[in-house]
Amino acid sequence: MFQYGKYVVGAWTVAFLTANVDKIVIGRWLGAGQLGYYTLCYGLAMFATYQISTRIFHVAFPAFTAAQARPELLRQGFIKLTKYLLFISLPVALILWLVPQELLYACYGKRWMKAAPILQVLAAAGALEALRVGVEPVLLGCGRSRAIFLLNLLQLALLATGAAVAALVLKSTVGVAWALVASIGALAG
What string of pLDDT tens digits covers the 189 residues of the chain? 888 999 999 999 999 999 999 999 999 999 999 999 999 999 999 998 888 877 888 888 889 899 988 989 989 998 998 898 899 899 999 999 999 999 999 999 999 999 999 999 999 999 999 888 889 899 999 999 999 999 999 999 999 999 999 999 999 999 999 999 999 999 886
CA-CA distance, 136 to 131, in Å (whole number)?
11
